[in-house]
Structure 1
Amino acid sequence: MMTETNTVQKEGKERVRIIDAIRGFSLLGILMANMLIFQYGLYGKDKLESFNPSAWDIGFHKLLQIMIEGSFMPIFMFLFGYGLYKMKDSLVSKGLKYKRYLSRRFLMLLLLGVLHGLLLWEGDILAAYGLMGFCLLLFIRRKPRTMLIWGIVLSVLFAGLGYGSQKEDDKAEIRMKHYIEESIDVMGSGTYMEIQEFRMNADPLDLSGAPVILLILFAPVFLAPMFLFGMAAASKQWFHNPRKERSRYSRLTLLFLPAGLTMKTAAVLWSASPWSGVLMIGGGQLLALGYIFLLAFVLPGLSRRSFTIAAFESVGRMSLTNYLMQTVICTTIFYGYGLGLYGRIGVVTGILLSLLIYAVQAVISAWVWRKYQFGPVERLLRMWTYFSLSGKARPASSESMTS
């Protein structure tokens, strides 16, 4: 009995390590993708010609589009769904009403996301995660098969929305050009208040209120697939014993990785095709799954003292703190109230800067984790979720096991 318990605990620790390492790896890709937005803006990153790029910048920009963009945020979504399901199981095992605790967690993520987006940067994803969490409560007690079917159907629908002409009409192209020219001036040399005013009021797409509201309402539908896949994987207890499951992950890697890379490469090479958006969205999700299973295959084979695992794991354990700090660091580097390097350093230098920032975060994260166990934002989130100064759930014998 004792040996069986030790085995379960050992497998649980290995699962947590692998999941943390994959989460940390995804944060590196997210930083590289977001670096384009920090440098050129949400719209400017796809209009690189406005920033006089070098041939190297153009080449690496295409490489980032294929290898990174649209494929690392889905990894984070998958892990969010996976962690949500595991947290539910943990709360149920303690006799706690899981919906109450999860709802508090989602509410704080939503609040953090709104503040992050309003005060610092338009590329926030935390608010969407908070909203998505409430929607996922509808699926959390469903069978894995149901989650997978819904995820596949929504993935196809989402990818289908990418079909259509990729060419702008003349008026839209002129409007976008003027917006980017103004953004270079304001974001690179403006004060905090000037940048805020530009972010809140400038609209290159000339959208009215109705389309924006519709986008917000339907956002959970677009985001749901990878969250659902993560929940299904947790329900099926994948990654519980990564060493024994490596053959499965190798097969899935060989299935998803080449398919995702092929589709995204075709999307970039034939960007004018009406199918380009379909290939980019669909390929992005397939490549994300390929990366997940590749890491699940590779990481267990490395030594427990591996520097690679330690670096990714440290960042992954404090992913929320590190994600927000990336915004603080990069807006300070590129915006006018900081160093004002907006649109000036190029794509290649931006990639090198991403690696430097990530390396520093890995070192700091390892030190903070050894000393405090949680990052500062993670501790606040846990304190709010559990209404506990220790940031830990307290078993409640009087509470029912479900809500």
Structure 2
Amino acid sequence: MAILGILVINIQSISMPSIARINPATYGGFEGANYIVWLLSHVFVEQKFIVLFSMLFGAGVLLFVSSKQSKGEPALKLHYKRTFWLLVIGLAHAYLLWDGDILVTYALCSLVVVLAYNWPAERLVVAAVVLLSVPFIQQVETVMMLDHGMELGYWTTTPEELQQEIAVHQGSWSALAADRFGSNVYSQTIAVVDRAGWRYSGAMLLGMALFRWGVLSNERSSEEYIKLVAGCFTAGITITVAGVAYLHYHDWGSVAGFSWGLFNYWGSILVSISYVGVVMLFCRRWAGGRVEKALSSVGRTALSNYLLQTVVATTIFYGHGLALFGQVSRVEQMGIVLLIWVVQVVLSVLWLQRFRYGPAEWVWRSLTYGRA
């Protein structure tokens, strides 16, 4: 569910100029069905599935290390080797295909979060909240500075800048690769140290805690999952919707635009936790069914599907393919998302009927263990 969900947001970054994500009212159609698509994606998807993906990654780190230790294998050595190759895959993904890569950040974060693999759940939660609070506090401080007259050039863009960005993405692969180099360097260094590393590391630790509590492995009672869904979903959606209302109330002003993300920052975490409960209840009710098997096939090939999403989407929107960048409305984007989902589900099911791992997973495992 996490790997499919993140495409709803990622496709916006791949198909439209960056201002459409920063200030959606300025580009991409913002009335009628297009507005509804944006509103639903922001409330129910924006940041929710990447947080869920991050929590699962953290749980995966814990599961990997614990499994290797139980077998008497050098757990930490294998973890760091595994992380190194994830970093290599992420760098290739970022510089060859798309500057929205998350794998490099995950690899860098996992170098640190693995040190907490033997912590009890309560300690993991405390550490997660502390880490998650750092970017939030930084953002609050920035907003307070903005209220005293700081200008925000990022909130708007000139027609010339807009056309230049569209032209680059519709142009040659080499020109776009040169353009995204600086963006990649920033996102993989300054952005990680400044905010992204704190948020994603915190989400990973939270995932470790949920795994230790048996939440991610469906070991809690149905009543507990129902309470988890009801409480976290209600609170998270309320906070997120309040952010949208706040932005509308201030008529999409620049200062409000910089601060409205504070609402979704915590709202997305709560909603992502509620999604865990939804999936657990779904699996409990329809375990072994066709839908569960189809979706689990996507999950078992998550890395391959993440990379496939980028390959397909960039081929559709960038100049080395159909060059539709900046030409597709938000509603049309969702049609493309649905088509990619269908392709991914079908391919994942067919692939796992013949092979144990996805192609990218097989490469990653082979490099980690030093054998095919």
Aligned positions of 1:276-355 closer than 5 A = 276-305=260-289, 307-355=290-338
Cα separation, partners in 2 of 1:174 and 1:385, compared to 1, 3 Å: same
Q: Pick from 197, 200, 204: which aligns with 1:223? A: 200
Cα separation, partners in 2 of 1:97 and 1:39, compared to 1, 3 Å: same
In structure 2, the residue matched to 1:180 is 162
The one-letter amino acid of 1:384's match is: L
Would you say the 8 A contact 1:246–1:297 is kept in 2? yes
In structure 2, the residue matched to 1:22 is none
The one-letter amino acid of 2:99's match is: E
| Greater relative contact order (CA < 8 Å, ≥ 6 in sequence) | 1
Cα separation, partners in 2 of 1:341 and 1:143, compared to 1, 3 Å: same
The alpha carbon displacement at 1:275 in A equals 4.9
Helix, strand or coil at the partner of 1:225 = helix
The one-letter amino acid of 1:38's match is: I
Q: Which moved more, 1:228-237 or 1:256-265?
A: 228-237
CA distance in 2, matches of 1:141, 1:98: 12
The alpha carbon displacement at 1:234 in A equals 2.2
The alpha carbon displacement at 1:251 in A equals 0.9
- Alignment of 1:29 onto 2:5: yes
The one-letter amino acid of 2:77's match is: R
Would you say the 8 A contact 1:162–1:276 is kept in 2? no
Q: Whose helix fraction is larger, Structure 1's or Structure 2's?
A: 2
Helix, strand or coil at the partner of 1:137 = helix
Query: Where in structure 1 are there 5+ consecutive unaligned residues?
Result: 1-24, 204-208, 390-403
- Alignment of 1:365 onto 2:348: yes
Would you say the 8 A contact 1:332–1:338 is kept in 2? yes
Helix, strand or coil at the partner of 2:353 = helix
Helix, strand or coil at the partner of 1:372 = coil
The structure having more radius of gyration, on CA atoms, is 1
Cα separation, partners in 2 of 1:59 and 1:75, compared to 1, 3 Å: same
The alpha carbon displacement at 1:52 in A equals 4.7
The alpha carbon displacement at 1:226 in A equals 1.3
Q: Which moved more, 1:233-242 or 1:293-302?
A: 233-242
Helix, strand or coil at the partner of 1:142 = coil
CA distance in 1, matches of 2:152, 2:11: 29
Query: Where in structure 2 are there 5+ consecutive unaligned residues?
Result: 251-255
**What is the number of equivalent residue pairs in this alignment?**
357
The one-letter amino acid of 1:245's match is: S
In structure 2, the residue matched to 1:128 is 105
The alpha carbon displacement at 1:303 in A equals 4.4
- Alignment of 1:105 onto 2:82: yes
State TM-score, norm by structure 2.
0.89
CA distance in 1, matches of 2:263, 2:160: 29
- Alignment of 1:249 onto 2:225: yes
Cα separation, partners in 2 of 1:31 and 1:289, compared to 1, 3 Å: same
Q: Once the two structures are superposed, what CA deviation does each residue of 1:54-111 show, in whole Å capped at 9, x if it has no partner? A: 5321221122111111110010111111111111111011101100111011111111
Cα separation, partners in 2 of 1:182 and 1:327, compared to 1, 3 Å: same
